[in-house]
């Protein structure tokens, strides 16, 4: 049994833990920012291929108590790095810390890099080069108050990079965050889904791929493929098995609107690249002019939020209209609004039934749930 840690957007640890259990992980332990779990080495391939919510899958290969950077350097030197990669491959080291007493994690990163290079020079006769942009092997160090844990990154590029996004609009929502929000919202393929501010179409595409059981990692490569212990034949069989599980016959009712013609064009490009034009109809339409495509369903969206003062003022004036449109036209629907503008709940003048804290990178956000019932849930003025 090996030990792994899957990182994820903060706030999605619970649904990631449930997903890992469904993939046969054991000792599933959600913590802030990710989930620890155990299983055979092959499990890391499965999670990389199948997880919709994880950002990375890290394989724990060493740990040690420490008081100084030298202790961490010595711990890294005790690891037999040559069993996984050679000096002809490039590396990158990243360090993160919580409550570490050390003054600089950059020095820790440098010390671990030096240790790896020293070990490979001693065992292989040469040292690897560092490539911070596109390394063959990524090494992660995580520091607590007195423990250093070393990981090999089995993912390579972050797992939200599915490979389907050919075009992106302004500040696109990451695919794994969108998938996690769909899970939190409780969406199922038999429920009509509308994103009235769909941007590049992330919610809609992730929903259809989820419904069809398409493995999210089928269109990309992973970091574990660069390691010496990689079993290419078994991995190909696993990929073929996963591809065979996709059910393209599943029908969904997913709809996308956006006021921007450029956004709709971007979404159409992404939808077409996956051959989903017949299941994700898209229309250029402002939310003010929108009508529900079905009598009931789930509305989920990530509305724009401003940075400049004039943008914030414009949004503050628009939010009451957003609430009015939901109440007047979308009775029978459940709305989930994901935003970093926490004023929205008050300014919409609708009472959310749930507020879920989430993070989009370092940006604190909320997922607000509204049960839209005509003539109720409205806050009285004054």
Q: What CATH code is carried by the domain that includes residue 88?
A: 3.30.2130.30
Question: For position 381, what pLDDT does the model report?
Answer: 42
Question: For position 308, what pLDDT does the model report?
Answer: 53
Same domain, 30 and 146: yes
Spatial distance between the Cα atoms of 172 and 166, rounded to a whole number of angstroms: 12
Mean pLDDT of the chain: 93
Residues in the chain, how many?
382
Q: What CATH code is carried by the domain that includes residue 366?
A: 3.40.50.150
167 within domain boundaries? no
Nearest partner of 263 among 283, 281, 279, judged by Cα: 283
Same domain, 84 and 200: no
Burial call 116-133: b when 16+ CB within 10 Å, e when fewer: bbebbeeeeeebbeeeee
Question: In the block, which residue shows the tokens 């607590």?
Answer: 144
| End-to-end alpha carbon distance in the chain | 61
> What stretches of 78-142 show up as alpha helix (H) in DSSP?
105-124
Q: Please check whether residue 64 is in contact with residue 72, taking contact to mean a CB–CB distance below 8 angstroms.
A: yes
pLDDT at 379 over 50: no
Which has more pLDDT, 373 or 233?
233
300 within domain boundaries? yes
What would the pLDDT profile of 292-308 be if each residue is shown by its tens digit? 999 999 999 999 865 55
What would the pLDDT profile of 239-280 be if each residue is shown by its tens digit? 999 999 999 999 899 999 999 999 999 999 999 999 999 999
Question: For position 10, what pLDDT does the model report?
Answer: 97
Alpha carbon 92 to its chain's center = 22
Same domain, 84 and 143: yes
One DSSP character per residue, 5-46 reads EEE--TT-HHHHHHHHHHTT-EEEEEETTEEEEEE-THHHHH
Nearest partner of 197 among 169, 162, 175, 166, judged by Cα: 169
Last residue of a domain, one of 153, 183, 204: 153
CA angle 373, 377, 382 (to 5 degrees): 145
| Residues in a beta bridge with 2 | 39
Q: pTM to 2 decimals?
A: 0.93
Q: Please check whether residue 203 is in contact with residue 303, taking contact to mean a CB–CB distance below 8 angstroms.
A: no
379 within domain boundaries? no
Burial call 296-332: b when 16+ CB within 10 Å, e when fewer: ebbbbbbbbbeeeeeeeeebeebbeebbebbbeebbe
Domain with 332 in it: 175-214+248-371
Handedness of CA 157, 163, 169, 174 (dihedral sign): negative
Spatial distance between the Cα atoms of 147 and 370, rounded to a whole number of angstroms: 44
377 within domain boundaries? no
Spatial distance between the Cα atoms of 210 and 319, rounded to a whole number of angstroms: 31
Question: For position 378, what pLDDT does the model report?
Answer: 45
165 within domain boundaries? no
């Amino acid at each position: 049994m090996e030990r792994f840690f899957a990182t994820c957007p903060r706030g999605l640890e619970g649904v990631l833990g449930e997903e890992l259990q469904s993939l046969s992980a054991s000792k599933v332990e959600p913590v802030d920012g990710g989930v620890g779990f155990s299983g055979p080495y092959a499990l890391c391939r499965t999670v990389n291929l199948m997880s919709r919510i994880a950002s990375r899958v890290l394989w724990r290969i060493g740990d040690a108590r420490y008081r100084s950077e030298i202790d961490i350097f010595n711990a890294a030197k005790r690891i037999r790095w040559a069993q996984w990669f050679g000096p002809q491959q490039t590396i990158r080291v990243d360090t993160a810390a919580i409550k570490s007493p050390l003054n600089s994690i950059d020095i820790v990163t440098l010390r671990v890099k030096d240790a790896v290079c020293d070990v490979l020079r001693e065992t292989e006769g040469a040292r690897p080069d560092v490539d911070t942009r596109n390394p063959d092997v990524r090494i992660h160090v995580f520091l607590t108050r007195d423990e250093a844990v070393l990981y090999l990154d089995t993912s390579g590029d972050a797992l939200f990079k599915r490979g389907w996004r050919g075009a992106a609009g302004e500040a696109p929502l990451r695919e794994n965050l969108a998938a996690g929000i769909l899970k939190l919202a409780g969406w199922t393929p038999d429920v009509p889904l509308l994103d009235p501010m769909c941007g590049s179409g992330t919610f809609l595409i992730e929903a259809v791929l989820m419904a069809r059981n398409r493995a999210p990692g089928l269109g990309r490569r992973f970091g574990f493929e660069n390691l010496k212990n990689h079993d290419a034949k078994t991995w190909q069989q696993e990929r073929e098995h996963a591809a065979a599980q996709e059910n393209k016959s599943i029908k969904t009712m997913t709809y996308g609107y956006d006021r921007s013609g450029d956004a709709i064009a971007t979404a159409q490009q992404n939808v077409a690249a996956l051959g989903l034009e017949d299941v994700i109809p898209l229309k250029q339409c402002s939310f003010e002019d929108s009508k529900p495509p079905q009598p009931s369903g789930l509305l989920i969206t990530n509305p724009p939020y401003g940075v400049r003062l004039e943008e914030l003022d414009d949004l503050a004036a628009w939010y009451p209209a957003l609430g009015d449109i939901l109440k007047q036209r979308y009775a029978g629907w459940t709305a989930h609004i994901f935003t970093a503008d926490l004023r929205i709940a008050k300014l919409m003048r609708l009472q959310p039934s749930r507020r879920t804290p989430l993070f989009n990178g370092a940006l604190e956000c909320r997922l607000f749930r509204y049960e839209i019932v005509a003539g109720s849930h409205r806050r009285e003025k004054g």
